[in-house]
């Protein structure tokens, strides 16, 4: 047997490792949770890692999964071994090509991190709904259930496809397997070579398109032969199961791990058997082992080759004694008799003729759904299913893992059932995304997995926030391979890396009796006890925990590691968990640090080593008193009483107890109330902005740029200031538009993320101390109580009457109530200020079609939404369709809105006699160009409704239902550059040609921010991004000019931080234009490698260097013979390099590849010069349009 | 006419003349370094290795990758890892080695350390490139009132002693002028192992931007009047220390160079004038110095060096009293 390495990797890496070595072309498109496979392949290729054939695979990022599939298809046809990686809707976009690829019997393997399909909601998590959607394509479907299996079956799939010509989908569960880190035996390159027969590759090449041996493929066929040709491929499918089994057998002989089309584990004489595939097999197998040890006659049949479904092999794998079978499907097909695997099993059993091996009698079969969207699937649930199989009349169709109180399909299970082994160390770590806990935890798994004979497993849970996100790392260490594919329910080690979590999260909820509890606390060991909430004290006493503390932040600071506490906490974990001897652990940690960070320089290593060395000095065991005496208590998550829905549902989600919600609690169609982010008081800032009215010039900039609407301004009549808190401050509003008004700038202290952007942009400095501005970031603890009272009072003050104010300036626009507030976006986010402005200006009549991406996540990821309503209950109505279709989706909104209005106008005319002609005419002809006119129209609609109350005309009710559409609607399409420039460009382009009144807001960060910074066609030349590791070599697509070319579209490019006044003006012009508008909004992002606290002022550099010129193209000016294109920024006065070297995405290239950087920087400067010259010429052009054309356009 | 001997001794080396290119952009570029050699420079100091800069860059790269890493299920990180980042001193040291190889005049390394270990680690690394001497570029700006002058002096002395013990090439120490008793301090440095002093360092001074009301660091080029300070202190130190003395700051004209030599400088170092006039200007200075010596009928630089040190000048009290008296008298006598 060969010597092979043991490595600790996740499922994605296990698959990509094989795929990269067995292919020549890899065409991909980023999608969670499959993206890492493409990224790893790109990284390997960019560093010259060759495949087994000796060449470096060509990894290419496409504009969508559809594009990737087309490229794969083409590359295969032309004779290159080609693969791709995808998931979910991405796989669906590949379906058309998948039918073609299979129809042409083309060998390839798609590796799929199986993910939930978006239905009533998007979910990034795992189930089989995507792979089940490609059952009909003619592809083989091969399921891997663990990280090791992903590695092994990836090879088996590649070998089998080459031999059989049938393409394979090799799938494994998204997140649970794709992101689980586990110790596996790594296949060698020789293993890979030995499994691939040269003749197969030769045949594949010979079948490829070649002008020396021309063929016609992809023909169109008629009724005479299509059918027969379709049947002609049957033998290939008939032969496939045997080929796969033979491949598995060859693999077993070579490597030693044995697989079969179906594998059975459990009692040889089992009466009750579960049939399933995917990661849940781990939990099921563990349960079977535990139950059979107690003599129970149970078993588990694991499906590996799901398509083609080999009936005979399936039957032969079942024990002959089986009487009852539960088939588990990790998908849902509404309206079907049962889910797919269930139906297949039934069919197989029905087709099976008795007398063969297999069951002596036809078993009873029941089918259950489990684990949708990575819902936990535990041994307790497995045990319950076996119990159900014993019932006199087991449920034919059931669900497990939820409480279904509507259709009562669910089985209730006993959560106390556990099969966790006593020899397994189970450690749970609570951390912040920003403190490095997950990274250190992954490292710990690697340390144990790769340096000891022990096995190790890591799985990581994140919340949905981007700022202040909480992470929970679940680590298992064991002398035996770890198959526990579920979260730790009984922890014998718990570490809390953030002291403040104790006030919010029950970090000891899973702790076992006698376990160890490690806490990072900013208190001395003899002081810490009194600082704990009583609930924590009580659990420590009741569970007899060994309690350790360390002031990790102090240790990290002293080692000059700022707030990176990861190595400190990791060292403490190893010191007290006893998994390794302390000094040995420290050596391993240092080695791991060198491996991870070695390239980043000696200083990085030295400081990390210093943190490791100092960690143990700071670690202390706390003497636990006998009594819980603390006066402190854990805080409730929701402090205000919301609506009934909020109380019943949202508050439970916020408390982290969403798993407990029954079916009846959830909306049937994915509809949720808005305005819920405000009840989630996360209070994550360390410092908050504090206002000094003495200096304030009331410019409104701080309010404009706040990404979280956490700093606000309000003007209100003098007389409304009654009963104010003592500390509440005001200044006199100086504008003539609002006489006798006061102004207050107020922070929402519990909603602020502490990003500091507001203070950075504040232009008002004290004359006596320049560092003191009209707002300063100050420690929250000193100001929290006062500002809380102030903010509560601030909210009670009356909102400004929108009719009273012209909102075309920064200052005045910021007096409007934001209807987008407190999102979970990153601290300092560059996108959200634009959305907030949109909500202020048009939120009360806006429909928003949001492309998938960051904005759909911080905008619409449960538990709450930042989209809010005003006192009248109006606000943006928001929906996300898909990633690729937001423009079309938004166009649909416009068509519907216009159609409803047309119907309302029709009805008005029908009812003119009843309603009154004057009101009807005014309603139809109202221009609604400003707030006053819109308000007047709302009043007219109210009057109409009142008159219709007394109208008994048969059309009156219909008009009542449609009357609101007479108030002008503002339709917005929102998305990032990945959508607008790449996957959604075709749709966006088409929508512009319709000329319909749709406002398209592109939040342009220059990368796919949400999936972790992959290059888009907006990524600028010379920037480093994923799939552009050597710096993007081509210039950014000029989407604005493409839109301008239609001549009918309002187009503007803006950067709020560089020119806020232009930003406000653009929004007004775009919205008022009754045709399509495109706003390209410069959105800084952490994926650009910038200091987020100065990100808004840094936008000035982007503009002053000409990197991001500001302009407006207004077709209305062309129609009047004016100059439609106006440059709003001055000639560049900084060089591109001066701008670029302040951003990590460019500067890193200058570090890593100075020559390439020099070349690309020069080209980028050339782009700027070229573009600026072009824009200047554009700005000089006066349009002279013939009268005919003018009429046509109008 | 006899051609004067321009050679001088510095740090145990014999240099062909007392005009040395100080650490600066011109000595860091191989092309301009050769031009300096061609123009007659007798030695050159390579730009400083700044440990703080190295550490800063390394930590920036680290933070760049670690910021918000593993914060979100969908985006474990935001940037691809590179093969290498050209971090640390390697690139600097390699360039220094090439500089040494590319010219025949002595090349001195220069080091600005930051951490205790850094000074020694990098001093050794610089020595290994084959340079002829090492110049320590030391400065510390005290802002804490609890730190005494003695504390700071001890830091310098300990540092010089530690570096001295770790290397075998000659060691010069470049210091600022703000020491209460410079002779005493210079004596301490000599005892700690310094083979020479470079007088003086010109610090990066921050300026205030009146538009943004922010400090911005800005290095302004020296002017010729700045040579007065080294003239005085070299004059005072020359007779009292058995050390090489290099004059730096305000070395712009031949007259200034001669004055510094008269006061006792072994060499004069220049940067600003060469940046303003180009490397070739050094040959003009050299010619002018030579002509001055001829006019003055001086045989050699060695003869000239220190002939106006405090001990050798006719009015030593002028150096002690500073120019105030002189200026005052001049002022009043005008009316």
| Domains annotated on chain A, with CATH | 6-214+221-254 (3.40.50.970), 260-411 (3.40.50.920), 426-621 (3.40.920.10), 672-822 (3.30.70.20), 970-1192 (3.40.50.970)
Active site residue A1010: yes
Give the end-to-end CA distance of chain B in Å, rounded to a whole number: 46
Nearest C-alpha neighbor of A427 from the set A356, A482, A468, A503? A482
Closest-approach residue (CA) in chain A for B213: A770
Q: What is the pLDDT of residues A1075-1086, one digit of tens each?
A: 999 999 999 999
**pLDDT-based confidence at B316, cuts 50/70/90?**
confident
Using the predicted structure, report yes or no on whether residue A878 has a pLDDT greater than 60: yes
Q: Which of A35, A599, A1098 to mutate to test binding with chain B, by most B CBs within 10 Å of its CB? A: A599
Q: What does DSSP assign to residue A268?
A: T
Amino acid A681: pLDDT: 87
Would you call the peptide bond into B240 cis, given omega within 30 degrees of 0 as the criterion? no
Locate all alpha helices (DSSP H) within B111-181, ordered by sequence: 116-127, 149-166
Model confidence pLDDT, tens digit, residues B180-231 = 999 999 999 999 999 999 999 987 788 998 888 888 887 788 898 899 999 9
pLDDT of residue A732: 95
Q: Give the integer Cα–Cα distance in Å for A705 and A1056.
A: 8
Half-sphere CA count of A883, side-chain side, radius 13 A? 30
Question: How close, in Å, is residue B57 to chain A by CA atoms?
Answer: 9
For chain A, first and last CA: distance in Å?
Answer: 80
Please report the residues numbered 39 through 68 in chain B whose beta carbons come closer than 8 angstroms to any beta carbon of chain A: 54-55, 57-68
A1125: pLDDT confidence band, cut at 50, 70 and 90? very high
Q: What is the mean pLDDT of chain A?
A: 95
CB contact under 8 A, A439 and B69: yes
Put simply, the answer to whether B82 touches A1009 (Cβ < 8 Å) is no
Question: Looking at the predicted structure, is the pLDDT value of residue A363 above 50?
Answer: yes
Q: Which of A37, A1009, A1012, A1156 to mutate to test the interface with B (most CBs of B within 10 A)?
A: A1012
Q: Determine the average pLDDT of the residues in A368-391.
A: 98
pLDDT for A736 = 85
Nearest CA-CA distance, residue B137 and chain A, Å:
20
B58/A1029 touch (CB, cutoff 8 Å), yes or no: no
Chain A contact present for B29, CB below 8 A? no
The per-type count for chain A, helices as H runs and strands as E runs, is 43, 38
B59: closest chain A residue by CA? A604
What domains can be seen in chain B, in order of their start residue?
Answer: 8-333 (3.20.20.70)
Check A71, A115, A845, A1145 and give the catalytic one. Answer: A115
A1155 to chain B, any CB pair closer than 8 A? The answer is no
Which among B61, B68, B80 has the least Cβ separation from residue A1026? B80
Residues of A in contact with B58 (CB under 8 A): 600-604
Which tokens in the block code for residue A1041?
């000019």
Residues 6+ apart with CB under 8 A from B64: A1089, A1144, A1148, B79
* Active-site residue, A32 included: yes
Which residues does chain B have within 8 Å of residue A1152's beta carbon, measured at their own beta carbons? 82-86
Residue B329: the pLDDT is 46
| Preceding amide of A308 cis, omega within 30 | yes
Token output for A222: 């008629």
| Residues contacting residue A313 through CB under 8 Å, at least 6 positions apart | A241, A245, A260, A261, A262
Over chain B, what is the mean pLDDT? 90
| pLDDT value of position B53 | 87
In whole angstroms, what is the distance from residue A345 CA to residue B190 CA? Answer: 92
Known catalytic membership, residue A925: no
CA distance B86 to A1150: 9
Q: Which chain A residues are closer than 8 Å to B50 by Cβ?
A: none
Helix axes B51-66, A1144-1152, angle to 10 degrees: 120
B248 forms beta bridges with B269
B71: nearest CB among A434, A602, A1010: A434
Mutate to test the interface with A, among B50, B59, B79 (most CBs of A within 10 A): B79
Calculate the CA dihedral of residues A643, A647, A648, A654 and round it to 10 degrees. 120
Tokens 């290939």 locate to A236
Six token digits for residue A92: 């669906």
Report the SS3 class of residue A891.
helix
In contact, B123 and B93? CB cutoff 8 Å: no
User: Which class for B216: exposed (0-12), middle (13-18), buried (19 or more C-beta within 10 A)?
Assistant: exposed
Which chain A residues are Cβ-neighbours of B65 within 8 angstroms? 600
Residue A762 near residue A702 (C-beta atoms within 8 A):
yes
How far apart CA A934 and CA A936 sit, in angstroms, is 5
| Residue in chain B lying closest to A599 (CA) | B84
Cis peptide before A408 (omega within 30 of 0): no
pLDDT at A1193: 44
| Contact: A601, B83; criterion CB under 8 Å | no
| pLDDT at residue B328, as a whole number | 45
Phi, psi of A470, rounded to the nearest 5 degrees? -95, 135
Chain A, residues 1071-1130, CB within 8 A of chain B, namely 1086-1087, 1089
The alpha carbon dihedral of A272, A275, A280, A285 has a sign of: positive
Structure tokens at A183: 């110790």
Beta bridge partners of A747: A711
Question: Using 50, 70 and 90 to split pLDDT, how confident is the model at A647?
Answer: confident
Please check whether residue A645 is in contact with residue A673, taking contact to mean a CB–CB distance below 8 angstroms: yes
Rg for chain A (alpha carbons), in Å? 32
> A455-462 and A181-185 as β-strands: parallel, antiparallel, unpaired?
antiparallel
**How many A-B residue pairs are in contact by the CB < 8 A criterion?**
138
Task: State the complex-level ipTM.
Answer: 0.91
DSSP state of A621: E
Q: Is A598 on the interface with B (CB under 8 A)?
A: no
Compute the distance between CA of residue A1044 and CA of residue A1051 in angstroms, rounded to an integer.
6
What's the mean pLDDT in A635-652? 78
| Separation in Å, CA A281 to CA A320, A375, A453 | 21, 14, 24
What percentage of chain A has pLDDT greater than the value 90?
Answer: 91
A1184 pLDDT band (50/70/90 cuts)?
low
Mutate one of B53, B56, B67, B80 to test the A interface: name it (highest A CB count within 10 A): B80
pLDDT computed for residue A638 by the predictor: 64
CA–CA separation, A386 vs A402, rounded Å?
Answer: 17
- The pLDDT value recorded for residue A1194 is 41
Q: Nearest C-alpha of chain B: how many angstroms from A663? A: 26
pLDDT of residue A354: 56
Contact B201, B172 (CB under 8 A): no
For residues A171 and A112, the answer to whether their CB atoms sit within 8 Å is yes
B75 touches chain A (CB under 8 A): yes
- Strand A181-185 to strand B19-21: parallel, antiparallel, or no bridges (unpaired)? unpaired
DSSP string over A449-483: HHHSSSEEEEEEEE-S-SSS-EEEEEEEEESS---
Q: Out of A116-125, A742-751, B66-75, which region has the weakest mean confidence (pLDDT)?
A: B66-75
Q: Which helix (H) or strand (E) holds A130?
A: helix A129-132
Cα(A169)–Cα(A109) distance, integer angstroms: 6
Asked whether residue B153 carries a pLDDT value surpassing 60, the answer given is yes
A255: helix, strand or coil: helix
Residue A654: closest CA among A640, A633, A671: A640
Q: At what angle do helices A379-390 and A280-293 cross, to 10 degrees?
A: 60
Q: Are A1109 and A1172 in contact (CB under 8 A)?
A: yes
Token code pair at residue A164: 């059989």
């Amino acid at each position: 047997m060969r010597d092979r390495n043991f490595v600790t990797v996740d499922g994605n890496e296990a698959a990509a490792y094989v795929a990269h070595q067995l292919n020549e072309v890899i065409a991909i498109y980023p999608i969670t949770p499959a993206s890492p496979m493409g990224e790893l392949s790109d990284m390997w290729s960019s560093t010259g890692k060759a495949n087994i054939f000796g060449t470096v695979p060509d990894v290419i990022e496409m504009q969508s999964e559809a594009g990737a599939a087309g490229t794969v298809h083409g590359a295969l046809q032309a004779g290159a071994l080609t693969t791709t990686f995808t998931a979910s809707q991405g796989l669906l976009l590949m379906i058309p090509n998948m039918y073609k690829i299979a129809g042409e019997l083309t060998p390839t393997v798609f590796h799929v991190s199986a993910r939930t399909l978006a239905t009533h909601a998007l979910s990034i998590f795992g189930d089989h709904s995507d792979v089940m959607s490609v059952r009909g394509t003619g592809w083989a479907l091969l399921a891997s259930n663990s990280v090791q299996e992903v590695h092994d079956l990836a090879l088996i799939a590649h070998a089998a496809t080459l031999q059989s010509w049938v393409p394979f989908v090799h799938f494994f569960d998204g997140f649970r397997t794709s992101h689980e880190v586990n110790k596996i035996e790594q296949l060698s390159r020789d293993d890979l070579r030995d499994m691939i027969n040269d003749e197969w590759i030769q045949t594949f090449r010979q079948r490829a398109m070649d002008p020396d041996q021309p063929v016609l493929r992809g023909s169109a066929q008629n009724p005479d032969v299509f059918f027969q040709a379709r049947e002609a491929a049957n033998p290939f499918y008939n032969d496939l199961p045997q080929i796969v089994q033979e491949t598995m057998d060859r693999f077993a002989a070579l490597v030693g791990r044995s697989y079969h089309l179906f594998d059975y584990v459990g009692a040889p004489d089992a009466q009750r058997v579960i049939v399933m595939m995917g990661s849940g097999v781990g939990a099921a197998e563990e349960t079977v082992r535990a139950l059979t040890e107690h003599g129970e006659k149970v078993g588990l049949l694991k499906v590996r080759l799901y398509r083609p479904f080999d009936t005979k092999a399936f039957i032969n794998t079942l024990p002959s004694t089986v009487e009852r079978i539960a088939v588990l499907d990790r998908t849902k097909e509404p309206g079907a008799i049962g889910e797919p695997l269930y139906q297949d099993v039934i069919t197989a059993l029905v087709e099976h003729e008795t007398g063969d091996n297999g069951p002596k009698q036809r078993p009873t079969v029941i089918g259950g759904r489990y684990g949708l969207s990575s819902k936990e699937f535990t041994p307790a649930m497995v045990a319950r299913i076996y119990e159900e199989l014993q019932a006199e009349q087991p449920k034919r169709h059931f669900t497990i893992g939820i409480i279904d109180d509507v259709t009562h399909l669910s089985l209730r299970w006993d959560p106390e059932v556990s099969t966790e082994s006593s020899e397994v160390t189970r450690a749970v770590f609570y951390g912040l995304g920003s403190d490095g806990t997950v990274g250190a935890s992954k490292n710990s798994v690697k340390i144990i997995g790769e340096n000891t004979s022990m096995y190790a497993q890591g799985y990581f849970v994140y919340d949905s926030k981007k700022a202040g996100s909480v992470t929970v790392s679940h680590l298992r260490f064991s002398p035996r391979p770890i198959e526990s594919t579920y979260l730790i329910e009984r922890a014998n080690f718990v570490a809390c890396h953030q002291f403040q979590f104790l006030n919010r999260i029950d970090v000891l909820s899973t702790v076992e009796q006698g376990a160890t509890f490690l806490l990072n606390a900013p208190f001395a060991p003899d002081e810490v006890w009194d600082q704990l909430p009583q609930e924590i004290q009580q659990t420590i006493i009741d569970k007899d925990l060994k309690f350790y503390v360390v002031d990790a932040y102090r240790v990290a600071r002293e080692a000059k590691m700022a707030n990176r506490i990861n190595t400190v906490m990791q060292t403490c974990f190893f010191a007290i968990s006893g998994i390794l001897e302390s000094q040995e652990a420290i050596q391993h940690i240092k080695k791991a640090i060198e491996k991870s960070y070695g390239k980043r320089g000696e200083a990085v290593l030295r400081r990390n080593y210093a943190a490791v060395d100092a960690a143990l000095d700071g670690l202390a065991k706390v003497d636990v008193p006998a009594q819980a005496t603390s006066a402190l208590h854990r805080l409730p998550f929701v402090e205000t009483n919301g609506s009934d829905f909020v109380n019943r549902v949202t508050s439970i989600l916020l408390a982290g107890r969403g798993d407990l919600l029954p079916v009846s609690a959830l909306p049937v169609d994915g509809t949720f109330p808005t305005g819920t982010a405000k009840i989630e008081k996360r209070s994550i800032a360390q410092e908050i902005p504090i206002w000094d009215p003495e200096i304030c010039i009331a410019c409104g900039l701080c309010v404009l740029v706040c990404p979280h609407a956490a700093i606000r301004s309000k003007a209100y009549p003098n007389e409304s200031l009654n009963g104010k808190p003592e500390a509440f401050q005001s200044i006199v509003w100086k504008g003539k538009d609002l006489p006798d008004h006061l102004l207050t700038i107020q922070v929402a202290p519990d909603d602020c993320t502490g990003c500091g952007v507001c203070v950075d942009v504040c232009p008002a400095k004290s004359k006596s101390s320049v560092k003191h501005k009209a707002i300063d970031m100050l420690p929250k603890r000193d100001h929290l109580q006062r500002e809380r009272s102030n903010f509560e009072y601030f909210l009670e003050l009356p909102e400004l009457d929108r009719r009273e104010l012209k909102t075309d300036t920064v200052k005045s626009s910021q007096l409007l109530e934001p209807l987008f507030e407190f999102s979970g976006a990153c601290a300092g986010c560059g996108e959200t200020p634009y959305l907030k402005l949109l909500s202020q200006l048009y939120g009360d009549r806006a429909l928003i079609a949001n492309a998938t991406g960051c904005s759909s996540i911080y905008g619409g990821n449960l538990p709450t939404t930042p989209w809010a309503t005003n006192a009248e209950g109006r606000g943006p109505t928001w929906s996300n369709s898909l990633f690729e279709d937001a423009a079309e989706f938004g166009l649909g909104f416009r068509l519907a809105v216009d159609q409803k209005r047309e119907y309302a106008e029709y009805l008005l005319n029908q009812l003119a006699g009843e309603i009154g002609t004057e009101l009807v005419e005014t309603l139809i002809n109202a221009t609604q160009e400003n707030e006053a006119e819109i308000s007047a129209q709302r009043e007219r609609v109210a009057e109409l409704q009142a008159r219709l109350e007394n109208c008994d005309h048969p059309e009156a009710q219909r008009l009542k239902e449609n009357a609101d559409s007479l108030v002008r609607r503002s339709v917005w399409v929102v998305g990032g550059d990945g959508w607008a420039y790449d996957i959604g460009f075709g749709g966006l382009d088409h929508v512009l040609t319709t000329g319909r009144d749709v406002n398209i807001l592109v939040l342009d960060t220059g990368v796919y921010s949400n999936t972790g910074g992959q290059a888009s066609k907006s990524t600028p030349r010379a920037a480093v991004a994923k799939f552009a590791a050597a710096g993007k070599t081509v210039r950014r697509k000029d989407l604005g000019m493409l839109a301008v070319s239609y001549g009918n579209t309002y187009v503007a490019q803006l950067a709020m931080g560089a020119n806020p006044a232009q930003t406000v003006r653009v929004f007004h012009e775009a919205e008022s234009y009754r045709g399509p508008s495109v706003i390209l909004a410069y959105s800084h992002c952490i994926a650009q490698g910038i200091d987020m606290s100065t990100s808004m002022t840094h936008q000035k550099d982007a503009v002053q260097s000409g990197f991001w010129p500001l302009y407006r193209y207004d077709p209305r000016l062309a129609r009047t013979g004016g100059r439609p294109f106006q440059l709003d920024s001055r000639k560049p006065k900084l060089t591109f390099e001066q701008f670029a070297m302040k951003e990590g995405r460019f500067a890193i290239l200058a570090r890593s590849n100075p020559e390439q950087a020099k070349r690309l920087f020069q080209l980028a400067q050339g782009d700027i010069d070229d573009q600026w010259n072009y824009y200047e010429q554009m700005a000089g052009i006066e349009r002279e349009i013939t009268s005919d054309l003018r009429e046509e356009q109008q | 006419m006899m051609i004067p001997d321009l050679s001088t001794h510095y740090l145990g080396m014999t240099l062909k003349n007392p005009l040395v290119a100080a650490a600066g952009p011109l000595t860091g570029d191989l092309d301009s370094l050769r031009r300096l050699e061609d123009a007659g420079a007798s030695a050159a100091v390579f730009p400083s290795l700044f440990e703080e800069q190295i550490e800063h860059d390394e930590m920036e790269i680290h933070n760049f990758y670690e910021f918000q890493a593993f914060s979100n299920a969908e985006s474990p990180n935001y940037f691809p890892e590179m093969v290498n980042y050209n971090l640390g001193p390697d690139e600097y040291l390699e360039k220094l080695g090439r500089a040494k190889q590319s010219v025949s005049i002595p090349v001195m390394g220069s080091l600005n350390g930051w951490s205790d270990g850094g000074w020694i680690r990098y001093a050794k690394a610089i020595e290994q490139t084959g340079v002829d001497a090492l110049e320590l570029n030391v400065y510390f700006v005290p802002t804490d009132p609890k730190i005494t002058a003695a504390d700071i002096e001890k830091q310098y002395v300990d540092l010089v002693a530690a570096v001295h013990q770790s290397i075998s090439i000659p060691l010069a120490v470049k210091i600022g002028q703000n020491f209460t008793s410079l002779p005493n301090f210079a004596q301490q440095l000599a005892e700690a192992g310094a083979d020479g002093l470079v007088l003086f360092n010109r610090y990066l001074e921050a300026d205030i931007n009146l538009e943004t009301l922010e400090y911005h660091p800005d290095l302004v080029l020296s002017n010729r009047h700045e040579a007065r300070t080294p003239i005085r202190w070299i004059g005072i130190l020359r007779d009292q220390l058995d050390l090489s003395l290099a004059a730096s700051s305000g070395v712009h004209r031949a007259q200034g160079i001669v004055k510094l030599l008269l006061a006792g400088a072994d060499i004069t170092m220049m940067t600003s004038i060469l940046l303003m006039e180009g490397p070739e200007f050094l040959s003009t200075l050299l010619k002018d110095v030579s002509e001055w010596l001829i006019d003055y009928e001086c045989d050699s630089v060695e003869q000239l060096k220190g002939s106006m040190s405090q001990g050798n000048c006719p009015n030593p009290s002028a150096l002690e009293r500073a120019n105030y008296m002189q200026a005052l008298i001049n002022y009043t006598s005008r009316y």
